[in-house]
Structure 1
Amino acid sequence: MVVTDVVAGILGLWIVLYVLDANPSNDFAHWVHSAADWLSAWAHDLFTPSEGWLRTLFNYGIPAVLYLFVGHTLAGRLK
Structure 2
Amino acid sequence: MRGIDSVIRTIAHVLAGILAVWIVMDLLDANRANTLVDWFHTAADWLAAWSIGLFDVSQHTLQVLLDYGIPAVVYVVIADLVARRTVAR
TM (norm. structure 1) is: 0.95
Larger radius of gyration: 2
The 2-side partners of 1:28 and 1:51 are apart by: 26
Aligned equivalent of 2:28: 20
**Which of 56, 66, 76 is matched with 2:74 structurally?**
66
Aligned equivalent of 1:50: 58
The alignment-based identity, stated in percent, is 46
The 2-side partners of 1:39 and 1:67 are apart by: 10
- What RMSD, in angstroms, separates the aligned Cα atoms of the two structures? 0.7
Q: Which runs of no fewer than 5 residues in structure 2 stay unpaired?
A: 1-8
- The number of residues matched between the two structures is 79
The 2-side partners of 1:47 and 1:67 are apart by: 18
Tell me the SS of whatever aligns to 2:80: helix
Give 1:58 shift: 0.3
Give 1:23 shift: 0.6
The 1-side partners of 2:46 and 2:10 are apart by: 19
For residues 14-57 of structure 1, the C-alpha deviation after alignment (integer angstroms, 9 at most, x for no partner) is: 10111111111111010000000000101110011111111010
The 1-side partners of 2:26 and 2:34 are apart by: 13
Amino acid at match of 1:20: L
The 1-side partners of 2:20 and 2:84 are apart by: 23
TM (norm. structure 2) is: 0.85
Q: Which runs of no fewer than 5 residues in structure 1 stay unpaired?
A: none
The 1-side partners of 2:20 and 2:59 are apart by: 18
Q: Is residue 2:47 matched to residue 1:39?
A: yes
